[in-house]
Amino acid sequence: QVQLQESGPGLLRPSETLSLTCSISGGSFSTYYWSWIRQTPRKKLEWIGYTYISGNTHYNPSLKNRVTMSLDTSNNRFSLKLTSVTAADTAVYYCARHLGVIIAFDYWGQGALVTVSS
Amino acid sequence: DVQMTQSPSSLSASVGDRVTITCRASQDIYNYLNWYQQKPGKAPKLLIYDASTLVTGVPSRFSGSGSGTDFTLTISSLQPEDIATYYCQQYDNLPPITFGQGTRLEIK
């Protein structure tokens, strides 16, 4: 059974950098695309970006200048960095696996709440 | 960006009712449309992909249809465990991948 688990700080100050890691177990890591998605307090879902082992990475243009995603193939993990956070970045952050070449998210982590507050 | 608009935003129905949720795209997305169910405190769960393909293990009372700009998620006979918020998601024109705003389904 594939399992995803997000980890990282839950509270940030404005202008700090958000760093989250998604650990994958129970399945192949290198043959899938992996995404980060966030859900705001108003329940809006926003796709942040996806990455693949080949280096094929796409980010949401609305966040592109602040986002970096990377893969740690040795440890079956991938990470998200979002710089210069503001209160608008407060959300539950999910990592998710793509359903093969179809961009549908078939496995999700439980979510990590990140709050940005001074 | 492709805007996804769901209707209604909330819906109240009785057990056994047929329930229909609509998702409209701001441009043609062919059949690149997925549906998710989210229960409180949980991650979304994929129900249907490519507009009409049911994910293995999802009850057959769920079905999806549509193509182009108009799509529908139907629950043929509402069950108490179907109470959740439902989201559509497109992946034709990306980036970005975009989601609808959600439809909250309640029991009457």
At A80, list the tokens: 């998200």
Evaluate whether B33 touches B21 at the Cβ level (below 8 Å): no
Quote the CA–CA distance of A86 and A8 in Å, as a whole number.
Answer: 17
Q: Cα B107 vs. chain centroid, distance in angstroms? A: 17
pLDDT surpassing 90 at residue A21: yes
Say whether B46 and A99 touch across the interface (CB within 8 A): yes
Residue A40 contacts B, CB cutoff 8 Å: no
Number of residue pairs across A and B with CB atoms under 8 Å? 61
Quote the CA–CA distance of A109 and B2 in Å, as a whole number.
Answer: 26
Residue A81's DSSP bridge partners are A19, A68
Quote the CA–CA distance of A39 and B44 in Å, as a whole number.
Answer: 10
Say whether B96 and A104 touch across the interface (CB within 8 A): no
> What kind and span of H or E run contains A114?
strand A112-116
Please tell me the number of Cα atoms within 13 Å of A63 on its side-chain side.
27
At A87, list the tokens: 């209160």
Say whether A47 and B49 touch across the interface (CB within 8 A): no
Give the A window 55-94 contacts with B, CB below 8 Å.
Answer: 58-62, 94
Q: What mean pLDDT is reported for chain A? A: 94
Backbone phi, psi, residue B39, to 5°: -100, 155
Evaluate whether A87 touches A14 at the Cβ level (below 8 Å): yes
At B53, list the tokens: 């393909």
Evaluate whether B59 touches B77 at the Cβ level (below 8 Å): no
Closest to A65 in 3D by CA, of A49, A45, A41: A49
pLDDT digits (tens, 9 = 90+) for A31-88: 899 999 999 999 999 999 999 988 889 999 999 799 999 999 889 999 999 999 999 9
* Residues in chain B within 8 Å Cβ distance of A60: 95-97
Quote the CA–CA distance of B46 and B37 in Å, as a whole number.
Answer: 7
A43-73 exposure pattern, b = at least 16 Cβ within 10 A, e = fewer: eebbbbbbbbeeeeebbbeebeebbebebee
Query: Which residue of chain B is at minimal alpha-carbon distance from A110?
Result: B43
pLDDT at B37: 98
Residue A104: strand, helix, or coil: strand
Say whether A104 and B49 touch across the interface (CB within 8 A): yes
Please count the residues of chain A.
118
Written as tens digits, the pLDDT of chain B (108 aa) is 999 999 999 999 999 999 999 999 999 999 999 999 999 999 999 999 999 999 999 999 999 999 999 999 999 999 999 999 999 999 997 889 999 999 999 999
